Structure 1
Amino acid sequence: MGYGAAQSSSFPLILFFITGGIAIAAASLSFEDNFDLTCAAEHFKTSPDGQIVSLYLYKNSGCGFQTKKRHLFGWFSMKMKLAGGDSAGVVTAFYMCSDKDAAKDRDEVDIEFLGNRSGQPYLIQTNIYKGGVGNREQRHSLWFDPTADFHTYSFLWNPHNLVFFVDRVPIRVHRNGPGGEGFFPSKKPMYLFSSIWNADDWATRGGLEKTNWTLAPFVSSYKDFTLDVSSAKDAWWNQPVAWSLSSGQALDSAWVHRNLLVYDYCADVERFPTLPPECSLRS
C-alpha cells in the first residue's frame, strides 16, 4: 500500500535500552514524525489524550501505518489491543518488511493475529520470508485474552537470531545459520508496519468462517511504540547477552512450546518431507 496523509497525533514513541532487566527511557516522539498512514484518514483515530491510536476495518477498506525509515537490526515493540467479539476473518498484523509493496524478493518478519468466532481461541501466527520465500509459519494460542487489554508484542533482531516476544516471553526463536548464510533475514533493512484487514478466505478455520460485516467496524488499538535501532557497535541488542536466551527465558520458551504451540512447519513432514535446514538449528 502507498502512503496516506497522516492525521496529527502525539502518540509517544519511547526509545529504551533493556540491559540486565533495566529499562532506560529516552525521548518521546510524535506519531506523525515516525509513521505514515496507508489508508484514508477516516479509518484512523486517536484518543482524546493522544496516547492511543486506533485502526478501523470496514467492508470497503482496512487501515495501516508504516515507519518512514527502514532499519537493519534492533528491538521493535508495540502495545496492542485487538478487535473483540466475533472477529472471524479479521487479521491484525504487526510486521517488518524490506519493501513497501511486497516485492517478490522481499525479506519479511510477521506477527499476525487471526480473528476468531466468539469463544474460540485467538491465534497468533509468526512467519519469516527471505528473498521472497516464506512458508515458515508457527501458530500459538495465547495465555490471555488479547482483546480485553493492551499487551506487548516485540521483535529482537540481530545477526545471530530473531526472537518473537509476547509480554517479554519469547514464543519463537529463529537462528541464523553457520557463517550467517542460513534462512535468515539479515541483508535488507526493513520498515515496520501494522494493519488490520479482511482475510476471510484463509484466516479462520482455513477460510470456513467468514467475516460478519454487520459487526463492523473492527478496531485494533496501539500505544507505546518502542524502538532501539542504535548503530553503535556496543548496542545492547548486538551483544552476546542478546545472541541467545537467558536461562529464565529458555524455561518460558519451553513452556510455551509444550502448552501453546498449535502448528509448527518444522513438524509438518507431510508438507515438508525433507525439513528445511534451519529446523536443525533449534536448541
Structure 2
Amino acid sequence: MARRSMALLLAVGVVALLQAASVASESTWLDDKFNTHGDVRADYDKSGRLVTSLVLDRHSGSSLISKQKYLFGKFSIEAKLVPGNSAGTVSCFYLTSGPGNGTDHDEIDMEFMGNTTGDPVVLNTNVWASGDGKKEHQFDLWFDPAADFHKYTIIWNPNNIIFQVDDVTVRAFKKYDDLPYPDSRPMEVHATFWDGSFWATRNGAVTIDWTKAPFVTSYRAYSEHACVAGDGKKDCSGGAWMDRVPDDDDRVTIAWAKRNCMSYNYCADGWRFPKGFPGECKRN
C-alpha cells in the first residue's frame, strides 16, 4: 500500500510539473517572440495563460511584431475582439515582408473590421504577392468574436495559403506558376490594433466613436510551426503544414463559408476590375 501511495504521489507530481512547465512556456511567448509598440498590456487568466491586450485611443494604436522572419509556416493565435460598438477599429493578425506596397512587398492578412452594435464583425482575408494585392474575401463571422476567445490560423506553404477560424478552413489561395505568389520573401508576424475609420465599417461611412475609448482587443495562445528565415539549423521540409493542401473536408467548409458567410469576393467585383478579373479567378 505504501508503494502504491508513493507511486500515485509521484505521478501526481509529474503531472503538476508538466502542467506548470506548459503554463510557464506559454506565458513567455510575448517576450520570447515579439517586440511591442504602443500601449500593450499583459495579464494572466485563471488558468495561468498569458493574455496580451492591445489598446487603441485617440493618440495611437498598438502592435506586436515578431522578432524573427519566417519563410513558410503555420501561425495561430486566439483573439477576443472589442465588445459593443467597435466601428472604425481594425484588429489584425497577419504576415508581411515589410512596409510599403511596391513590387518587393508580400503580405497575408486576417483583418477584423469593427462593427456597429448588433452588426456582424467582418473578417477580411487578403493576399499580396510582389506588390499585387486586391484579393480580398470577406466573411461575416457567424459568432460574437467579443464574447470569448476564438482561434485564427494562417497556413502558408509553397503550394497554397489556408485561412482557418477555430480550425475550420474558410478560404484557400492556390499557387499558379505563372501568377504572383508569396514564396520567396521572408515575413514577420504582426498583431495590430489601429484606427481604420476611412475604410473599416461600411466603407468608411461609420467612424470611431472616441467617447467609447480606450478600445481593447486581447490575444492569447500564440503558436507557430515555421521555418525561421536564414536559420540553417531548421529543416524547412518538416511539418505536416509544409505539405498541407485542401482536402475534401476543407472543400466542404470553404463552400459553406462562401455560401453562408461571404460578404465580398474580389472575383465577382466587375466594377473594380473593368479590364478583367485576376488570372486565378477563372481557375478556381
Matches of 1:30 and 1:130, distance apart in 2: 29
> Corresponding residue for 1:281?
283
CA contact (8 A) 2:132 2:180 kept: no
User: In the TM superposition, what whole-angstrom CA distance separates every residue of 1:106-132 from its partner, at most 9, and x where no partner exists?
Assistant: 101111101011011110101111122
TM-score by length of 2: 0.84
> Corresponding residue for 1:62?
61
1:229 equivalent in alignment to 2:231: no
> Corresponding residue for 2:188?
191
> Corresponding residue for 2:128?
129
Question: Where do residues 63-82 of structure 1 align in structure 2 (5 Å cutoff)?
Answer: 63-82=62-81
> Corresponding residue for 1:269?
270
Matches of 1:263 and 1:160, distance apart in 2: 24
> Corresponding residue for 1:254?
255
Deviation at 1:238, TM superposition (A): 1.9
Partner SS state of residue 229, structure 1: strand
Query: How large is the RMSD of aligned CA atoms in angstroms?
Result: 1.9
> Corresponding residue for 1:208?
205
Question: Between Structure 1 and Structure 2, whose CA radius of gyration is higher?
Answer: 2
CA contact (8 A) 1:177 1:281 kept: no
Q: Unaligned regions of 5+ residues in structure 1, if any?
A: 1-11, 15-26
1:46 equivalent in alignment to 2:50: no
Partner SS state of residue 255, structure 1: helix
Question: Where do residues 104-123 of structure 1 align in structure 2 (5 Å cutoff)?
Answer: 104=102, 105-123=104-122
Partner SS state of residue 132, structure 2: coil
Deviation at 1:103, TM superposition (A): 5.5
> Corresponding residue for 2:87?
88
User: In the TM superposition, what whole-angstrom CA distance separates every residue of 1:165-221 from its partner, at most 9, and x where no partner exists?
Assistant: 11111111100003xx42211110100001111111111111111110010111110
CA contact (8 A) 1:183 1:278 kept: no
Structure whose residues are more often helix by fraction: 2
| Letter aligned with residue 70 of structure 2 | H
| Letter aligned with residue 36 of structure 2 | L
Deviation at 1:154, TM superposition (A): 0.5
Matches of 2:238 and 2:119, distance apart in 1: 45
Question: Where do residues 119-198 of structure 1 align in structure 2 (5 Å cutoff)?
Answer: 119-178=118-177, 181-198=178-195
| Letter aligned with residue 218 of structure 1 | F
Segments ≥4 residues shifted beyond 6 Å: none
| Letter aligned with residue 203 of structure 1 | A
How many residues get paired? Answer: 250
Question: Where do residues 236-247 of structure 1 align in structure 2 (5 Å cutoff)?
Answer: 236-239=240-243, 242=244, 244-247=245-248
TM-score by length of 1: 0.84
CA contact (8 A) 2:123 2:140 kept: yes
